[in-house]
Amino acid sequence: MKIIICKNYEEISKKAASIVMKEIRKKPDLNIGLATGSSPIGLYKNLIEAYKKNKISFMDVKSYNLDEYIGIERSHPQSYYSFMHENLFKHIDIQEKNIHIPENDITRIDDLAADYNSELHENQLDIQILGIGSNGHIGFNEPGTPLGNETFIVTLDEQTRMDNSRFFENIDEVPKFAITMGIKNIMYSKKIVLVASGKEKAKVVYKMIKGKVTKSLPASILQLHPDCTVILDEASASVLVKKAAAEHQKFNKTVKQSPIKP
């Protein structure tokens, strides 16, 4: 894992956008996996700004979103379909036919996961953008999800519904189900960029990077990805930095107490 610690959210967003743009310039028809939530909004703003200044085009880019709620219409303001159009797609030149967001039509519930999964099989992602949930989820792979899962329908964790209730009138309005790429789909992406900001993410970020790889903290699997970059601000990196400093001090003390004898 490559860890980049930036000063604040603005810098995280700029850094993440520069990585994405570099990849698009190398391969204008790349397949990009996208996340919703508050973490990537700044990254999307930077991409929009670059597009408006004619620095980048998304004309041939194909996008694949990680997840979508089930139980609300695509037209609902809090659907991930609406989120992506509002925060990115309607501002850039991506073609509607190249946008892929998991379908959430409840009448087709039995086919939704398999259909989206075949699209992912046919189109390996070149880069996947991720955020991390306070319980360690990526996409909607909640703690306990088998690490070998591919796209599936998930019952959302109460913690996740609570975290996401800030976007709804109240917690009862937050859907109980969602469709999500599985960990296996995410790990199959050639490159992964995870962004996290704020002190409420500090503990989970530490566990993701330094804890053991376990399905109880799905994001820990990213330690095993060959090209994963984690971009943090000082607040979300605070536990990581504090523990690293403590370990360093302990090491120095041990070395002083038991000097190497000639």
Where in the sequence numbering do the catalytic residues fall?
Answer: 67, 135, 137, 142
Which residue of this chain has its Cβ atom nearest to ligand F6R in the complex? 131
Residue 67 interacts with ligand F6R (CB under 6 A)? yes
The piece of 35-43, 55-63, 110-118, 226-234 that touches ligand F6R (CB under 6 A) is: 35-43
Q: How far is the CB of 168 from ligand F6R (least distance, A)?
A: 13
> Is the Cβ–Cβ distance between 48 and 88 less than 8 Å?
yes
**Nearest residue to 109 via CA among 161, 157, 158, 152:** 152
Q: How many residues touch ligand F6R (CB under 6 A)?
A: 13
The single residue among 18, 38, 123, 216 that binds ligand F6R, judged by CB under 6 A, is 38
Within 8 A by CB and 6+ apart from 202, the residues are 235, 236, 237, 238, 239, 240
How far apart are CB 218 and ligand F6R at their closest, in Å?
A: 9
Which range of residues in 31-39, 171-179, 237-245, 249-257 is near ligand F6R by CB under 6 A? Answer: 31-39
Q: Could you say which of 61, 66, 88, 156 contacts ligand F6R (CB under 6 A)?
A: 66
Residues 96-155 that bind ligand F6R (CB under 6 A): 131-133, 137-139
**Cα–Cα distance for residue pair 205/42, rounded to 1 Å:** 19
**Least Cβ distance, residue 166 to ligand F6R (angstroms):** 9
Contacts of 186 (CB under 8 A, 6+ apart): 33, 66, 128, 130, 138, 139, 141, 192
Q: Identify which of residues 160 and 244 has a Cβ nearer to ligand F6R in the complex.
A: 160
Sequence letter at residue 68: E
Pairing assessment for the beta strands 228-233 and 191-196 based on DSSP bridges: parallel
Return d(Cα 262, Cα 254) in angstroms, integer: 17
* Smallest distance from ligand F6R to CB 43, Å: 11
Q: Which two structure tokens, joined as six digits, stand for 145?
A: 């999800």
d(CA 146, CA 144): 6
CB of 60 or CB of 173, closer to ligand F6R:
173
Q: Which residue has the tokens 């360690």?
A: 136
For ligand F6R, which is the closer residue by CB, 139 or 175? Answer: 139
Residues 185-204 that bind ligand F6R (CB under 6 A): none
- Closer to ligand F6R by CB, 91 or 161: give it: 161
> Which lies closer to ligand F6R via its Cβ, residue 60 or residue 188?
188
Q: In this structure, are residues 148 and 184 in contact, taking their beta carbons and an 8 Å threshold? A: yes
Three-state DSSP string of 232-257: EECCCCHHHHHHHHHHHHHHHHHHHH
Cα(186)–Cα(216) distance, rounded to whole angstroms? 17
Instruction: Give the shortest CB-36-to-ligand F6R separation in angstroms.
Output: 4
Q: Which residues bind ligand F6R (CB under 6 A)?
A: 35-39, 66-67, 131-133, 137-139
